[in-house]
């Protein structure tokens, strides 16, 4: 061992690649080689990586449905003096992957937790997105339940921060449709198959993305990075716009045309009919 002596009674959270096997750090390999055992989300899946690295270690599974009993098992072994590494199927443990509960349990039991940094799909999608990176909100996966999914989208609709979502290919079309309906048309960068052979970074808009994927089957792994909401304009700023731009301002937020006409009329203190007549004539 070099600078870092293996610490007894420690849980290491070790990031693994999100596609390209070369994206593992020297430190990650060293820690995986030195720990007493490795807890993995899917032991069979992780065995391929460990074989590739030439690492043979006792393994135990740690996944969504055995978190409680395995959490106890893993922490008992650590308290008995063993060191453990937690890895997930890809990327950083505890990011849309198991790990959060185990870390909490370690804190409760006074076990030291050490991160071994590496790939996170969402952060790599963000840095290639061309959208604001100064403030962002990681939103993980949307629920499969329609109501929960829409509630989630509504809860971030007005957020000014760049939004990062994970999505599975078979849900992508529905998700883009729901996002367009909730957010209105916004810039989106679709990051697909990061670090892999068919990697793509596609800067586009929600409307174009929805149209594209309605006739092209999504394949692979996706991160969706979406620009935050425009700051709400003051009424006098809106009234300084021409009528069509004023109307588009609301429509681009996903508001129905009829409702948008009503809002413009309210802002300008004129009748809905007047707005309707003037904007319809210009269309
Ligand atoms: N812990 C992982 C991380 O650090 O990013 C995330 C695991 S989560 C279960 C899997 C999701 O991450 C996928 O459905 C996809 O949205 C995203 N993802 C993982 N690998 C990816 C890749 N190579 N390209 C694009 N998205 C990826």
Q: Which tens digits make up the pLDDT trace of 172-188?
A: 999 999 999 999 999 99
Please give the mean pLDDT across all residues of the chain.
93
Q: What is the pLDDT of residue 7?
A: 53
Using the mean position of ligand 1's atoms as its centre, give its distance from the Cα of residue 233 in Å: 36
Per-residue confidence band for 152, with pLDDT thresholds at 50, 70 and 90 = very high
| Distance separating alpha carbons of residues 258 and 95, to the nearest angstrom | 41
Using the mean position of ligand 1's atoms as its centre, give its distance from the Cα of residue 71 in Å: 23
Which residue owns the Cα nearest ligand 1 atom 8?
96
Rounded average pLDDT over 63-78: 96
Say whether pLDDT at 231 is over 60.
yes
Least confident of 6-20, 65-79, 181-195: 6-20
Q: Are strands 162-167 and 84-87 parallel, antiparallel or unpaired?
A: unpaired
Residue 176 burial (10 A CB sphere; 0-12, 13-18, 19+)? buried
Which residue owns the Cα nearest ligand 1 atom 16?
166
Q: What is the pLDDT of residue 3?
A: 47
Beta bridge partners of 114: 12
Using the mean position of ligand 1's atoms as its centre, give its distance from the Cα of residue 68 in Å: 24
Using the mean position of ligand 1's atoms as its centre, give its distance from the Cα of residue 250 in Å: 34
CA-to-CA separations, 8 to 29, 112, 243, in angstroms, rounded: 18, 9, 69
Higher pLDDT, 269 or 33: 33
Per-residue confidence band for 79, with pLDDT thresholds at 50, 70 and 90 = very high
Q: What is the pLDDT of residues 102-138, one digit of tens each?
A: 999 999 999 999 999 999 999 999 999 999 999 999 9
Top mutation candidate among 13, 14, 18 for ligand 1, by most atoms within 8 Å of CB: 18
Q: Report the pocket of ligand 1 as residue ranges, CB < 6 Å.
A: 18-19, 88, 90-92, 95-97, 120-122, 166-168, 191, 193-196, 221-223
Per-residue confidence band for 8, with pLDDT thresholds at 50, 70 and 90 = low
Per-residue confidence band for 281, with pLDDT thresholds at 50, 70 and 90 = low
Counts of helices then strands in the chain (DSSP H, E)? 12, 10
């Amino acid at each position: 061992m070099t600078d870092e002596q293996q610490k007894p009674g420690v849980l290491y959270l070790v990031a693994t690649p999100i596609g390209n096997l070369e994206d593992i750090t020297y430190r990650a390999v060293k820690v995986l080689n030195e720990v007493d055992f490795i807890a993995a989300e899917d032991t069979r899946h992780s065995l391929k990586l460990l074989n590739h690295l030439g690492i043979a270690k006792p393994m135990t599974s740690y996944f969504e449905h055995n978190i409680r009993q395995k959490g106890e098992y893993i922490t008992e072994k650590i308290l008995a003096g063993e060191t453990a590494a937690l890895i997930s199927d890809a990327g950083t443990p505890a990011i849309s992957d198991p790990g959060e509960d185990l870390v909490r349990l370690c804190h409760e039991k006074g076990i030291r937790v050490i991160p071994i940094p590496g790939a996170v799909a969402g952060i790599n999608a963000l840095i290639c997105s061309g959208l604001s990176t100064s403030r962002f909100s990681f939103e993980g996966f949307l629920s499969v339940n329609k109501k929960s999914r829409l509630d989630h989208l509504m809860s971030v609709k007005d957020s000014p921060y760049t939004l990062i979502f994970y999505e599975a290919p078979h849900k992508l079309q529905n998700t883009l449709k729901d996002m367009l309906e909730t957010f209105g048309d916004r810039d989106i960068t679709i990051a697909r198959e990061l670090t892999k052979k068919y990697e793509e970074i596609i800067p586009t808009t929600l409307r174009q993305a929805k149209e594209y994927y309605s006739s092209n089957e999504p394949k692979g792994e996706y991160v969706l990075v979406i620009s935050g909401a425009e700051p709400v304009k003051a009424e006098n700023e809106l009234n300084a716009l021409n009528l069509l731009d004023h109307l588009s301002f609301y429509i681009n937020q996903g508001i129905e045309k009829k409702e948008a006409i009503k809002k413009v009329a309210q802002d300008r203190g004129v009748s809905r009919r007047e707005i309707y007549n003037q904007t319809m004539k210009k269309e």
